[in-house]
Amino acid sequence: MSTYDYDLFVIGVGSGGTRAARMAASTGARVAAAESSWLGGTCVNVGCVPKKLLVYGSHFSEDVEDAKAYGWDLKIEGFDWSRLIENKNTEIARLNGVYRRLLDNAGVELFETHAEIIDRHTVQVGDRTITTDKLLIATGGWPTMPDLPGIEHAVSSNEVFYLESFPKRFVVVGGGYIALEFAGIMKGMGAEVTQIYRGEQILRGFDGDVRETVASEVRKKGIDLRTGVNIWEIEKHDGTLLAKLTDGTEIVADCIMYATGRHPRIDGFGLEKLGLEITKQGAIKVDDYSRTSLDNVWAIGDVTHRMALTPVAIHEAMAFYRTEFLGDPTPVDHADIPSAVFSQPPVGSVGLTEEQAREAHGELDIYRSTFTPMKHTLTGRDEKTLMKIIVDQKSQKVVGVHMVGPDAGEIIQGIAIAVKMGATKQDFDRTIGIHPTAAEEFVTMRETAA
């Protein structure tokens, strides 16, 4: 029997911390956890969950327009941002409760307060000094705001979910996941949206065809996507914001949001006392099992800056639990992780981009298909779906699959199983399609692209 108060102490109960704490406790280990802000972390409170609800909310304007071709005469009477935010907040509060119960039912002692690390086996929680055998840091990440004059007038993804009124003129800075998602959300809800991206093409790191397709589709939807430009100063005049751009132009806005990346949360809880190795990106350095440079201290999720995705944090939590509590050393597997950008239209991707695949495999067979989603054959909406399969020519293994179009996330999740299993193009070919779906295109593409 250990002489410590607990076998495991977890700092931060987001997706990863909660899973690790619950699973460890299920083995009979004595587990405690501390959380100073939101139960459920970024994903539940200011990330995936509320974002997806807002994406749903933003779709109705197009759906009502599209309904006409299907015989419906519908009229939009208005849009009430406050009602949507209130309903969203009710759902988040319910989920906070679910997290509290999950931990409680698992027998995890939860301290809903700040925890301060004293040393590798000691944590201060309020006026209690607690000792622990193992320490798991799962403090997540935080939006990064660049330093420029007037940045205090801008919001990040933390505040945008709680805006008191709907911003009719919305500016979003960034060309990644969050910027695209919010450009689509605000556009769908009726705002005039400008998206500012400093580089040449949005979605750096994604497949080239995906990047081009998304840029073209969001522009068709009326988002003023400006590339190769940045904001250098923000001024506030009587509640209205003025963004001054590096190309000499100015934009008047009700809200300017920065979606310029997220950084690991390593400050403010005594981490420096441990002297852990920190990476160039300011993340806690861990090995393949999520162990830090101290053998009883572990870190998972966004604080390690490996892949800032909820299911990845959960996977890392499970690998930690298996390794430390089941005696089954389990390295984290970061290969072929699918992801989606809930832009409009959305993106789904798994495996390598064409650019990465060329570097890794040399000769490739590329299958590409672009078509109008069936729904829009009646509505006449000018929207294109892109599907792309990247195959290593020699082995015929499918090494990357990408899609831009309705339900891309749902479709790619299924395809990701095949890719993870090492499916070949011939495996795709001998799979029968489901007709009529968009997804069947993935098993019927026969001609390689030029």
Site size toward ligand NDP (CB under 6 A) is 24
**For residue 165, what are the CA distances in angstroms to 87, 170, 172?**
15, 12, 16
Which candidate in 305, 315, 402, 435 is catalytic? Answer: 435
Phi and psi angles of residue 258, each rounded to the nearest 5 degrees, phi first: -105, 125
Query: Based on CB atoms, which residue is closest to ligand NDP, 121 or 406?
Result: 406
Query: Based on CB atoms, which residue is closest to ligand NDP, 34 or 55?
Result: 55
Structure tokens at 246: 């590096």
- The answer to whether 131 contacts ligand NDP (rule: CB under 6 A) is no
Q: Which stretch binds ligand NDP (CB under 6 A): 80-88, 255-263, 386-394, 430-438?
A: 255-263
Structure tokens at 247: 């190309």
Q: Which of 31, 179, 386, 403 binds ligand NDP (CB under 6 A)?
A: 179
Query: Based on CB atoms, which residue is closest to ligand NDP, 166 or 177?
Result: 177
State the minimum distance, in angstroms, from the CB of residue 384 to ligand NDP.
21
Find out whether the peptide bond into 345 is cis, omega within 30 degrees of 0.
yes
SS (H, E, C) the chain: CCCCCEEEEEECCCHHHHHHHHHHHHCCCCEEEECCCCCCHHHHHHCHHHHHHHHHHHHHHHHHHHHHHHCCCCCCCCCCHHHHHHHHHHHHHHHHHHHHHHHHHHCCEEECCCEEEEECCEEEECCEEEEEEEEEECCCEEECCCCCCCHHHCECCCCHHHCCCCCCEEEEECCCHHHHHHHHHHHHCCCEEEEEECCCCCCCCCCHHHHHHHHHHHHHCCCEEEECCCEEEEEEECCEEEEEECCCCEEEECEEEECCCEEECCCCCCHHHHCCCECCCCCECCCCCCECCCCCEEECHHHHCCCCCHHHHHHHHHHHHHHHHCCCCCCCCCCCCCEEECCCCCEEEEECCHHHHHHHHCCEEEEEEEECCCHHHHHCCCCCEEEEEEEECCCCEEEEEEEECCCHHHHHHHHHHHHHCCCEHHHHHCCCCCCCCCHHHHHCCCCCCC
- Give the per-residue contact string, 190-229, with ligand NDP (x = CB under 6 A; - = no): -------xxx----x-------------------------
Q: Of residues 289-318, which lie at the interface with ligand NDP (CB under 6 A)? A: 308-309
Query: Based on CB atoms, which residue is closest to ligand NDP, 136 or 341?
Result: 341
Contacts for 309 with CB less than 8 Å, ≥ 6 apart: 337, 339
Q: Which of 28, 126, 146, 433 binds ligand NDP (CB under 6 A)?
A: 146
Rounded to the nearest angstrom, the gap between the alpha carbon of residue 52 and the centroid of all alpha carbons in its chain is 10
State the minimum distance, in angstroms, from the CB of residue 347 to ligand NDP.
9
State the minimum distance, in angstroms, from the CB of residue 212 to ligand NDP.
15
Structure tokens at 269: 């809880």
Query: Based on CB atoms, which residue is closest to ligand NDP, 231 or 445?
Result: 231
Query: Based on CB atoms, which residue is closest to ligand NDP, 28 or 199?
Result: 199
Beta bridge partners of 278: 284
State the minimum distance, in angstroms, from the CB of residue 178 to ligand NDP.
3
- The answer to whether 14 contacts ligand NDP (rule: CB under 6 A) is no
Query: Based on CB atoms, which residue is closest to ligand NDP, 95 or 117?
Result: 95
State the minimum distance, in angstroms, from the CB of residue 97 to ligand NDP.
24
- Give the per-residue contact string, 334-373, with ligand NDP (x = CB under 6 A; - = no): -----xxxx-------------------------------
- The answer to whether 259 contacts ligand NDP (rule: CB under 6 A) is yes
State the minimum distance, in angstroms, from the CB of residue 402 to ligand NDP.
15
State the minimum distance, in angstroms, from the CB of residue 15 to ligand NDP.
12
- The answer to whether 160 contacts ligand NDP (rule: CB under 6 A) is no
Q: Which of 23, 24, 92, 178 binds ligand NDP (CB under 6 A)?
A: 178
Inter-residue contact 8 to 24 (CB < 8 Å): yes
Q: Which residue is closest to ligand NDP by CB? A: 176
State the minimum distance, in angstroms, from the CB of residue 48 to ligand NDP.
6
- The answer to whether 174 contacts ligand NDP (rule: CB under 6 A) is yes
Query: Based on CB atoms, which residue is closest to ligand NDP, 260 or 379?
Result: 260
- The answer to whether 404 contacts ligand NDP (rule: CB under 6 A) is no
Q: Which of 58, 139, 260, 344 binds ligand NDP (CB under 6 A)?
A: 260
Question: Is 435 part of the annotated catalytic residue set?
Answer: yes
Inter-residue contact 318 to 23 (CB < 8 Å): yes
Query: Based on CB atoms, which residue is closest to ligand NDP, 25 or 253?
Result: 253
Q: Which residues are catalytic?
A: 435
User: What are the residues binding ligand NDP (CB under 6 A)?
Assistant: 146, 173-179, 181, 197-199, 204, 230, 259-262, 308-309, 339-342
